[in-house]
Amino acid sequence: MNRDNRPLRIALLTHSTNPRGGVVHCLELADALVALGHRVTLHAPAAPGTRLFRSTAAQLCLIPETPAGGGLRERVERRIATFAAWFAQPGHADFDVFHAHDGIGANALYELQARGVLPGYVRTVHHLEDSYGDARLDFLERRSIAGAARLLCVGPSWAARLAERCGRAAEVVGNGVNLRRFGPAAGARDRQLRQRLGLGAGPVFLAVGGIEARKNTVATLRAFARLRATLGNARLVVAGGASLLDHGACRRDFDAVLAREGLAVAALPDDGGPLPPDVPVILAGVLADVDMAPLYRLADALVFPSRVEGFGLAIVEAMACGTPVVVSQIAPFTDFLADGDCLWADPDDPDSIANAMCRALMPGTRERIVARGFQVAARHDWPTCARAHLPAYRAVADLPLPVSQPAKELNHA
């Protein structure tokens, strides 16, 4: 068999079992690589009893993790150690390619590479944080990038920024949307979710990603409050939010706006029961994966004025479901969205966001945006994304094992 066509044994590493954007990307990539004939094992740390948020065609390895307290640094370093200890065991590193989708897995691979356990690794940099507010975490992020044999980005803006900040070239592999899972056809699940969320006849605006500063959730709430002054039956649903990071300050700002604007808020009960009707702001939390497409379809618009994103998978997911999207007119969104594909907004101006939300409801404008959104979604498929990874994979698979380095180099900060 031609060496460029041989199936590869690929270890994919992701930091969580929750439906964050990078985790979704990793999972969909795994399924697409399996469909191309490769043997893929998806690795994630997991506390006892924890499951991946949905099934996968790949082999799944949930690495046992002991839950413990501590700050962000302690939790990150514990997960790095968990990954490193797992792959250091006999038989656990029997792969051609190791590919990490974040700094946690990549730092474990860096350490294993330094010990001579593996020849090199691939790292996807979804986006770059300016700082984690901790010198050790900032160092670990830089180290995981500098030590990678190959770097990948999902869009050209982040590849350019990576070259500028770190002096490293990155290949652009793109992103995708699963059109078998996300589409415009509604079903019984849509009706059940509408009832469970207590949604009435008024327009529904959706924010995905939880209450976070980089998601710009507070500005979204301010925009909603302005819009509700004229559309008194409008609803705002905030979904998602599982994260390693502490977003307490953003939540306090969010609550202060609720109080100032006199907006009632309700969280979806854990027992699956329905919310009372006509609550203006609904905190849906992390919904079941099968509810995400119905949630997009229930929304009159996805409001996505994020300040920092690797790509924004929710955008193409919503578009595939026939839902218009309000988007920040900044990179990386301007990399793949043109005028007429979405409703642009200034992320620093709640009035601009509110105006875009209002335009999403206007007949004519809405139909044009929905039609263009279907076209955008159709251009982003996972098989193309998976094939774009293969040159980097084959290059790393052919690397020789390095000579192990002194342990002191692994811990220098």
Residue 314's domain comprises 188-378
CA angle 338, 342, 345 (to 5 degrees): 100
- Assess if residue 283 is contained within a domain: yes
Give 47 or 171, the one with higher predicted confidence: 171
Query: For 279-336, where are the alpha helices, taking DSSP H only?
Result: 292-298, 313-320, 333-336
Please give the pLDDT value at position 32: 98
Cα distances from 295 to residues 212, 356, 368, in angstroms, run 20, 20, 21
Q: Read off the DSSP letter of residue 276.
A: P
Across the chain, mean pLDDT equals 92
Stretch 180-197: mean pLDDT, rounded? Answer: 96
- The answer to whether residues 200 and 154 belong to one domain is no
What would the pLDDT profile of 345-400 be if each residue is shown by its tens digit?
A: 999 999 999 999 999 999 999 999 999 999 999 999 999 999 999 999 999 999 98
pLDDT reading at 12 higher than 60 = yes
Q: Residue 92, exposed/middle/buried by CB under 10 A (0-12, 13-18, 19+)?
A: middle
- Based on the fold, state whether residues 81 and 222 are members of the same structural domain: no
Tell me whether residue 400 is in a domain.
Answer: yes
85-99, 203-217, 392-406, range with the lowest pLDDT: 392-406
Question: Is there a domain that residue 351 lies in?
Answer: yes
The whole-angstrom separation of Cα 206 and Cα 184 is 16
Percent over 70 (pLDDT), the chain:
94
Helix (H, G, I), strand (E, B) or coil at 266: strand
Q: Are residues 193 and 107 in the same domain?
A: no
When divided into structural domains, the chain yields a total of 2
Whether the predicted pLDDT of 283 surpasses 90: yes
User: 409 falls in which pLDDT band (50, 70, 90)?
Assistant: very low
Instruction: Please check whether residues 392 and 355 belong to one and the same domain.
Output: no
Cα separation, 258 vs 218, whole angstroms: 10
Q: What CA–CA distance (Å, rounded) separates 303 from 284? A: 15
Interval 156-184 mean pLDDT: 96
Q: How far apart are CA 155 and CA 313, in angstroms?
A: 12
Shared domain for 373 and 392, answered yes or no, is: no
Q: Does residue 108 form part of some domain?
A: yes
In 3-state terms, what secondary structure has residue 374?
helix
Confidence at 411, pLDDT banded by 50, 70, 90: very low
pTM: 0.92
183 belongs to a structural domain: no
Query: Which pLDDT belongs to residue 241?
Result: 76
Indicate if 109 and 207 belong to the same structural domain. no
Burial 243-278 (b: 16+ CB within 10 A, else e): eeeebeebbeebeebbeebebebeebeeeeeebeee
Spell out the residues 6+ positions from residue 298 whose beta carbon is closer than 8 angstroms to its own. 190, 193, 194, 197, 199, 204, 206, 237
Q: Do 127 and 41 belong together in one domain?
A: yes
Residues 193 and 295 in one domain: yes
pLDDT confidence band for 90 (50 / 70 / 90)? very high
| Whether residues 327 and 392 fall in one domain | no
130 and 236 within one domain: no
Residue 401 lies in a domain: yes
Any domain includes 2:
no
Asked if pLDDT for residue 407 goes beyond 50, the answer is: no
Q: Provide mean pLDDT across the span 20-44.
A: 96
Q: Please check whether residues 238 and 362 belong to one and the same domain.
A: yes
pLDDT above 90: percentage of residues in the chain: 81
Q: Give me the residues paired with residue 328 across strands.
A: 345
Q: Which of 285, 330, 273, 323 is nearest to 307 (CA)?
A: 330
Greater confidence, 409 or 94? 94
* Angle between helical axes of 21-35 and 382-397 (0-180°, round to 10): 80
Contact 83, 55 (CB under 8 A): no
* Parallel/antiparallel/unpaired status of strands 9-13 and 122-124: unpaired
Per-residue tokens: 233 = 């039956």
Structural domain contains residue 343: yes
20 and 154 co-located in one domain: yes
Taking alpha carbons only, the member of 111, 21, 59 closest to residue 407 is 111
Task: Give the pLDDT band of residue 26 (cuts 50, 70, 90).
Answer: very high
**CATH number for position 62:** 3.40.50.2000
Q: Are 237 and 207 in contact (CB under 8 A)?
A: yes
